[in-house]
Structure 1
Amino acid sequence: MDFRALKTFEACVRHGHFLKAAEELQYAPSTVTLQIQRLEDDLGVSLFVRDGKRMIVTEAGRWLHHEAAALLKSIGTMRQTVSDIAAGDSGSVRFAAIEPVASQQLASVVADFCKIRPNVELTMEVSGSRTIAERVRSGELEFGICAAPPSNLMLEFEPLIEERLGVMLNINHPLAEQDSITSNDLAGLTVLVKEPTCVYRELWETAIYPTRRNLFSCMEVGSFFVIQQMVKAEFGIGIVPIYSGLEQEGSLVIRPIADLNPVISIGIAYKDKHLLGKAAILLMEAIKVIREIPH
């Protein structure tokens, strides 16, 4: 069944006149007549009967008009949706990021993106760097914000920022008065660190071990927020990325580790930009603004 003929038929019924339908569709009147005749031949029924100068819709024609109107509306919606997806104004994006980048830098960027493109179905997950890279590779995520993935995953990686580890201290702690901390300053203290699979824990152990591992005792805590609250309660000190947003005026400060200066690169990991939708690419471009955002 010819789509153009259905569109012509719907216009004829809506206007009640072939000539007015021809004017709307910018067809010659003879073209409208020919398309209706071909549609009737295709269906094997009469869709109109002539009553003097009037064209009256038959019962079969009335039923077809109802169905054709719904179909044409659905096709119009499909066309618009496809156009919106191609422009990045619709579609879906699923990505993940590690903490504290997710809360400290990405949250506001993602919120702004959603305000501009409210019809994009966006899912933002928070996970570990290794898990994110593996899920990007498997296709579960369009992209991830994480540390550089292992080479065997064959992912593209665009560095965004370099993060440095520091020591989170209660404002009442004696070391809080210093501008920076050395590893020897940690002697005898309880140090709160993330779980072994966390890239910041791996960075910390690479920097501090094996020469200084017996200086202090470690306690594993699976959340930067919990580390923050424990330090606030004056239990131990925390090893965290240096973000001013993790500090709390009057209660917590973060000091750099002067003699170690552990640094890690965080960026965007993805498989192939040619396989990504426009919305995903636009979100990735928006996220790159964090290169200019101070920690």
Structure 2
Amino acid sequence: MDLRALKTFEACVRLGHFLKAAEELQYAPSTVTLQIQRLEADLGVSLFVRDGKRVIVTEAGRWLHHEAAVLLKSIEAMRQTVSDIASGDNGSVRFAAIEPVASQQLATVVADFYKTRPKVELTMEVGGSRSIAERVRAGELDFGVCSAPPSKLMLEFEPLIEERLGIMLHTNHPLADRDSISASDLAGHTILVKEPTCIYRELWETAICESGQYLFSCMEVGSFFVIQQMVKAELGIGIVPIYSGLEQEGSIVIRPITDLNPVITIGIAYKDKNLLGKAALWLMEAIRGIREPNTLQNSTGPEGKKTGT
């Protein structure tokens, strides 16, 4: 059945007159008549009974009108959804980010994005850099916010920010009054570190190995939040990225490590921008808003074009 003929038929029944249907659809009256005749011939039934200038809908016509109205509404909804997906106002986005970037920088960005595009089905996961990069490569994620992925994964990577590790201390700790701390100051203390697969743990171990100082004991903790709570309970000192949001007024402070200054670059990893939906591209563009000023060189916009200077 021709959808245009069904639309014409629905208008004829709803308006009760072929001429009114022609006016609404901006068709010639003869076109309306021809479409109804073809529809009847296609179905092999009479949809209207002609009574002079009046037309009366048959039983078959009444049933078809109900079904046609439902179908046409569904088609209109499909058209609108496809249009919204093309503009980035609908669709789905699945991405992941590492902590504490996810909570400290991206949570508000994602919240603002969702408020402006509530129809987008958005999934934000939190994981480790390695697993995020591998899942982006496998197509399980549209993109990830993580450290630079291994070259063997053949992913694109846009740097966003540089993160530095610091020392998280309770305000009662004797080192808390110092503006900065050196590696040698950690001797004799219990150090709270993330699991071995965490990029911040790797960064810490690389930095401390190069310094050759191991005069402390380590406790492995799988969550920055738990590290924060342990420090708050005055159990050890934590190795964490320097975020003011991780500090707690009156109980926890974070100080830089002067002689190590371990730094890691965090950015957006994706496989092929041409395969991403418009909503994903717009979310990536919103996330670029956290970019540090000195990384604006050679950034890319939502259409994949170069921006900046």
TM range (shorter): over 0.9
Partner of 2:142: 142
List structure 1 runs of 4+ shifted beyond 3 angstroms. Answer: none
Pairwise mapping of residues 25-40 of structure 1 onto structure 2 (< 5 A)? 25-40=25-40
- CA displacement, residues 138-170 of structure 1 (integer Å, 9 cap, x when unaligned): 111111110000111111111110000001111
Deviation of residue 101 (structure 1)? Answer: 0.4
Give the residue type in structure 2 aligned to 1:254.
I
- Which residue of structure 1 aligns with residue 221 of structure 2? 221
The alpha carbon displacement at 1:214 in A equals 2.4
Which residue of structure 2 aligns with residue 129 of structure 1?
129
Deviation at 1:213, TM superposition (A): 4.3
Match of 1:251?
251
Cα shift at 1:85: 0.9
Deviation, structure 1 residue 61 = 1.1
Cα drift, residue 212 of structure 1: 2.7
Q: Structure 2: which amino acid aligns with 1:242?
A: I
Gaps of 5+ in 2: 294-309
Q: Secondary structure at the match of 1:175?
A: coil
1:182 corresponds to which residue?
182
> Aligned pairs, how many?
293
Which letter maps to 1:113? F
Contact kept, 8 Å, 2:184 with 2:213, in 1: the verdict is no
TM-score between the two structures when normalised by the length of structure 2: 0.93
Matched residue type, 1:152? K
The equivalent residue for 1:8 is: 8
Q: Comparing 159-168 with 282-291, which one deviates more in the overlay?
A: 282-291
Q: Show CA shifts across 1:63-101 (max 9, x none).
A: 111111111011001001111111111111111110000
Could you tell me which residue of structure 1 aligns to residue 201 of structure 2? Answer: 201
Q: Which aligned pairs between 1:52-201 and structure 2 lie closer than 5 A? A: 52-201=52-201
- Which residue of structure 1 aligns with residue 48 of structure 2? 48
> Which stretches in structure 1 are left out of the alignment for 5+ residues?
none
Which whole-Å CA distance do the structure 1 matches of 2:276 and 2:243 have between them?
31
Query: In structure 1, how many angstroms separate the alpha carbons of the residues matched to 2:52 and 2:249?
Result: 87
Could you list the per-position Cα deviations for residues 154-204 of structure 1 after superposition, in whole angstroms to 9, with x for gaps in the alignment?
111111100000011111111111111111111111111000000000000
Q: Is the contact made by 2:211 and 2:260 (CA closer than 8 Å) also made in structure 1? A: no
TM-score (norm 1): 0.97
RMSD over aligned Cα, in angstroms? Answer: 1.1
Task: State the identity as a percent.
Answer: 84
Q: Is the 8 A contact 1:183 1:212 kept in 2?
A: no
Q: What SS is found at the alignment partner of 2:176?
A: helix
Partner AA of 1:63 in structure 2: W
Deviation at residue 211 of structure 1 after TM alignment: 4.4
Task: Name the aligned partner's letter for residue 180 of structure 1.
Answer: S
Q: Is the 8 A contact 1:18 1:29 kept in 2?
A: yes
| 1:52 CA displacement | 1.5
2:281 alignment counterpart: 281
- CA offset digits 1:224-280 (Å, max 9, x no partner): 111111111111111000000001111111111111110000011111111111111
- 1:233 maps to 233
Distance in 2 between residues matched to 1:241 and 1:119, nearest whole Å: 34
